Amino acid sequence: MINRRSVMGLFAGAASLVAAPFASRAAQRATPRANEMFQTRDDLPPPPKNPENVPGTLAPRGRNGRMERLPEIDLESRMDFLRSVRTFANEVMSPAAGKRADDILASKGISPDTVMPMQDAIALLQDDPVVGARTRAWTSVQQLTWKNIKAECEDNADTYLSEMEAVDNRGPGTLELNPDLEMPDYTRHEIHIQPGGYVGNDFAGHMYDYGTNGFYTGRNDQDALHMTAAFGLPIPADGKVRRILDIGTGIGQLALALKERFPDAEVWGIDVGGPMVRYGHLRAVERGMDVNFAQRLAEDTRFPDNHFDLVTSYIMFHEVSPQGTKDIVNEAFRITRPGGIFYPIDFNLKNPFPRTAYGQYRRWWDHRWNNEVWTIKYRTNGLPDLVRAAGFDLNEEGPVALPRFGVMNATKPA
Amino acid sequence: MSEKVEKGRSKAAPFIPADSDAAVFLGNPHIDNLMSVVIALGAEIWADRQRLKVVERLLETEGKATTAMVEAYVPTAAEKEAWETERMAMVERVYSVLSRDTSNARPFGEERQF
């Protein structure tokens, strides 16, 4: 594993030690708020015991549960700071920008709850300094986060490559890389402006792990969202869960969480990004978890028909083109066994359009400048209809695998 | 592929670059650049402050603080909580002006007359 990892935190703290001058508003801010988007279970099992001295890995600075500390205190501190600025942008600057947007609309005699075309919302808000400052701050934090972790990996490329190379062929799980894989163009974008995207940088997995932890503002440094999802997913009516596939697995956070819930099942994680599954394999080896990773397309998994009891994905489909979405759903139907379940977790589609002008502006910014290339089309390309058309019986009412996210509980008819 | 990875060792593939460096949200790319600068500077200042806290802690408990000791120091849960609180307080002190109401802002010379 990466030799040294981050301790960003979910520790229960001693409030009495909070410095008195900051004890009021600042103390409230530092305590992770009940975030509207990211909600996790509080009954999750503790992290598995980590094996020590895995060959090929260097002595770590220490570990916070599932996550190793970053290699140097200065880098760790800068990343902590960027996470705090991101929290500030989310919790202070965003409401201020939203209020400013309402004021701008009011000054023009437009009701704040008017649903308007996206280009109209952009035209109204794009020149306002408060709105612009929030957008700029969030974007700068995103860019600086990637810049910091990318520099660490690339400046120590040999070290990090050697760590991965040392365990490429080591178990308990397997790793399959396919350098000649023909990738659809939609997979090659720098999603979230991550340098090189998921396919184009050898340290995509490292960057994704630490970069998205910043995005989650510390709420997922124990994979708590993935664990919540894994423990909330439904199982087939006959109770049999022998083989599980997580498509678009990235660095395998949901795949590993599923292995924790179903330790006797054969678990696979596939992703188009070779560096992503390579890092995922490294994480699994270091934890001694028997999960198999392969660089394959979700459209062409190369597994037999009717093979899996459970097929999952975690926030994958909003990064997929409309054609890719259709092809992946059909492939999922082919490999799910009769009575098996396909449950892709992604953003809730029940309200596909933002309810405010500022929401429209932000969606455009996220799409255009945070490089969420496919997310707007995801909202309107009819994923539930595609799931039904593939042959699944779709239940959109429950269970909720991950609070606030969409319900897509699809069963292949027996 | 990273330029710092030998081709024979790389598992990376060609990608389609984003163009987010071209984004201008504050009317002038130099002003946008300055936002990145002040956030990056904040991170550098916090890194120094963090290091100083560890040094102080080590001097209190160990009587000395070497570079290796500073790098290896694992904070207690209480310390982490206190540091996060202080970090957020610093962020608020430094950056809260960015969300102030600017609806009454006027260029010099166009201000309200008394």
Q: Which tokens go with A199?
A: 């396919």
Chain A residues touching B13 at Cβ < 8 A: 179, 181, 183, 188, 199-200, 274
pLDDT band at A129 (very low <50, low <70, confident <90, very high): very high
- Residue A185 in this model has a pLDDT that exceeds 50: yes
Q: Model confidence at A26, in pLDDT bands (50, 70, 90)?
A: very low
Under 8 Å CB pairs connecting chains A and B tally to 233
Q: Determine the residue of chain B that is closest to A8 in CA distance.
A: B80
Closest by CA position to B26, among listed B112, B102, B111, B108 = B102
Q: Would the CB atoms of B4 and A127 count as touching at under 8 Å? A: no
**What percentage of chain B reaches a pLDDT higher than 70?**
97
Q: Sorting pLDDT into bands at 50, 70 and 90, what band is A48?
A: low
Q: Does A197 touch chain B (CB under 8 A)?
A: yes
Is 90 exceeded by the pLDDT of residue A125? Answer: yes
Is the CB of B92 less than 8 angstroms away from the CB of A25?
A: yes
More confident residue, A358 or A4: A358
For residue A133, give the H/E element and its range. Answer: helix A129-155
Indicate the pairing of strand A266-271 with strand A336-345.
unpaired
pLDDT of residue A352: 75
- Averaged pLDDT score across all residues of chain A: 87
**A27 pLDDT exceeds 90?**
no
Q: How confident is the model at residue B2 (pLDDT cuts 50, 70, 90)?
A: low
Torsion of CA A103, A108, A112, A118, to 10 degrees: -110
Q: Is the pLDDT of residue A30 over 50?
A: no
Token duo for residue B38: 């002040």
Of B43, B99, B76, B96, which is closest to residue A140 (Cα–Cα)? B43
CB contact, 8 Å: A137 with chain B? yes
Whole-angstrom distance, CA of residue A95 vs CA of residue A73: 33
Nearest to B15 among A29, A154, A190 (CB): A190
Query: What residues contact residue A254 under an 8 Å CB cut-off, 6+ apart?
Result: A226, A229, A230, A246, A269, A312, A313, A314, A345
A85 near B39, Cβ under 8 Å?
yes
Alpha helices (H) in A245-321, listed in sequence order = 253-261, 274-287
Phi, psi dihedral angles at A343 (to 5 degrees): -135, 90
For residue range A149-179, what is the model confidence (pLDDT) as tens digits?
999 999 999 999 999 999 999 999 999 999 9
Please, which residues 366-395 of chain A have a Cβ atom closer than 8 Å to chain B?
369-371
ipTM: 0.95
Residue of B nearest to A87 (CA): B88
pTM for this structure? Answer: 0.89
Looking at residue A43, its pLDDT comes to 78
Distance, CA of B84 to CA of A14 (rounded, Å): 12
Which distant-in-sequence residues (6+ apart) come within 8 Å of B33 by Cβ? none
Residue A412 CB burial class (10 angstroms; 0-12, 13-18, ≥19)? buried
Retrieve residue A334's tokens.
């082919």
| pLDDT tens digit sequence for A348-376 | 998 777 889 999 999 999 999 999 999 99
Q: What mean pLDDT do residues A57-83 have?
A: 80
pLDDT at A14: 28
Structure confidence at residue A198 (pLDDT): 98
For A92, the 3-state DSSP assignment is: helix
Among the residues of chain B, which ranges form H helices? 29-62, 67-72, 77-95
pLDDT the model gives residue A25: 36
Which of B10, B11, B51 is the best substitution to test chain A (most A C-beta atoms within 10 A)?
B11
Res. A29: pLDDT tops 70: no
Q: Look at residue B110 in the predicted model and tell me its pLDDT.
A: 81
The answer to whether the CB of A242 falls within 8 A of the CB of A169 is no
Does any CB of chain B come closer than 8 Å to the CB of residue A44? no
State both tokens at B81.
């909580």
Backbone torsions φ then ψ of A184, nearest 5 degrees = -60, 145
pLDDT number for residue A59: 42
Looking at CA atoms only, how far is residue A203 from chain B in angstroms? Answer: 8
Query: What mean pLDDT do residues B4-12 have?
Result: 86
- Check: CB of residue A355 under 8 Å from CB of residue A412: no
Q: Average pLDDT of A383-404?
A: 96
Taking CA atoms, what residue in A is nearest to B50?
A: A77
Interface test with B, best of A81, A183, A217, A375 (most B CBs within 10 A): A81
What number is the average pLDDT over the span A286-308? 96
